[in-house]
Amino acid sequence: MNHPENLHYADSHEWISVENGIGTVGITDHAQNALSDVVFVDLPKLGKVVKQKEPSATVESVKAASDIYSPVSGEITEVNSHLSSSPELVNSSPYENGWIFKIKLSNPDEMSSLKNVSAYLALLGK
């Protein structure tokens, strides 16, 4: 499984990469593999203000619905509308085409609560 070095990881298996105060959020390769067969993504509303660890989107696999928790607090600035017609991008490209939303960080200090790749791999027992 693939877990890029330049990302920050939440214990609940989301990743975030931040550029100019805007974070791009998705789920990890481990998470997409565990869910498998994503058939629907419920995207957050633009402009919605979310807190860190708050359920902010839902990924539905054949079997079950799973909440996606925002790794940081902030305001949703963009959602990946391709996922409406191609939810399987979450499986096939979890770090690129399968990103879920972008968020304007309201408290950048929260980044320090996230894991780097080696800590995340340790969480997965690898």
The contact set with other proteins (CB under 8 A) reads 34, 36-37, 39-40, 42, 58, 60-65, 84-85
CA separation for the pair 24, 122 (Å, rounded): 23
Q: Give the nearer residue to other proteins in terms of CB position, either 84 or 118.
A: 84
The CA-based dihedral angle spanning residues 85, 89, 32, 121, taken in that order and rounded to the nearest 10 degrees: -150
What are φ and ψ of residue 59, in 5° steps? Answer: -110, 125
The least CB distance from residue 83 to other proteins, in Å, is 11
Q: Give the nearer residue to other proteins in terms of CB position, either 53 or 104.
A: 53
CB 16 within 8 A of CB 23: yes
Amino acid at 121: L
Amino acid at 117: V
Q: Give the nearer residue to other proteins in terms of CB position, either 36 or 113.
A: 36
The least CB distance from residue 57 to other proteins, in Å, is 10
The least CB distance from residue 70 to other proteins, in Å, is 16
